[in-house]
Chains A and B, each alone.
Chain A
C-alpha cells in the first residue's frame, strides 16, 4: 500500500545465511506489526512495536528472529542462519486508530 513500503520485494537466499527485511512506514503511525504468511496459510503474528515502548516479541518463533524500530521510523526484521522453513511472505502492517491494520506489500523470502 501507499502508506507502507517493504524491501526487498523478493529475496532468495541460501540456507544458513542472514537476511534483513525492511519496513518503511509513512510517518505518524506508532503501532507497527510484523507477520509471517507461509504458502497457503494464514498470517502468524511475529512482533509488535508501539512507539518507544518495549516491543511485544511473543510471536517470534526462535532466537534467530529479531526486529528493531526506533520511534515511528523504519523497522527491520532480521533472520539469522536462515532455514528452509523460514520461506514465507513477511508482512509489515501499521495499526490504525480504528483497530484495523494497513498492510504493506510484503517481502517474499525463499530459502534454498
Chain B
C-alpha cells in the first residue's frame, strides 16, 4: 500500500539550531516521486523539492538539505541554522500511480509542525 509516515508530530528548536524532519514511505511503484511542502501559518502550501526514485543524490538548497535513501525508504529534510520564519507545518508526499489514467495522485504524510523559538 502507498503510505507516507511522518512520525514527528511537533518539533521545537531554538533559533540557529539544526533540525531534521523525518519521512518514511511505502510504495508498490518502481518509479515514483517524493516531495516536501511547507505550510506556513498563512495556510498556503509551498512546494520545496521533488526527487525522482532513481536519483539518490542528496540535494542542498541554501539552509535546506534532503537525504534520500531508497534502502531505508526515507526522504529526510534538514534545516540548518533554523530561523523563526521556518516555523510551519512541513509535509512529505509520495506519488501514487493512477492506473486508470497512467498519471499520478499524491499521498501526503500527516505533517510535522516545526516551531523555531527566538
Contact B45 A100 (CB under 8 A): no
Residue numbers in B under 8 Å from A43 (CB-CB): 91, 93, 106, 108
Please report the number of residue pairs spanning A and B whose Cβ atoms sit closer than 8 angstroms.
65
Q: Mark B35-63, 1 if CB is under 8 A from A, else 0.
A: 10100000111010010000000000000
Residue numbers in A under 8 Å from B91 (CB-CB): 42-43
Residue numbers in B under 8 Å from A102 (CB-CB): 47
Contact B105 A48 (CB under 8 A): yes
Q: DSSP majority for the B interface?
A: strand
Residue numbers in A under 8 Å from B43 (CB-CB): 89, 105-106
Q: Does A99 contact B (CB under 8 A)?
A: yes
Residue numbers in B under 8 Å from A100 (CB-CB): 35, 47, 50
- Classify chain B: how many residues form its interface, as a range: 20 to 34
Q: Which of B95, B100, B111 contacts A42 (CB 8 A)?
A: B111
The 9 closest A-B pairs by CB, nearest first: A103-B45, A43-B108, A42-B108, A42-B110, A100-B47, A45-B105, A56-B98, A99-B33, A100-B50
Q: Contact residues of A with B, CB < 8 Å?
A: 1, 31, 33, 35, 41-45, 48, 50, 53-54, 56, 58-59, 89, 91, 93, 95, 98-106
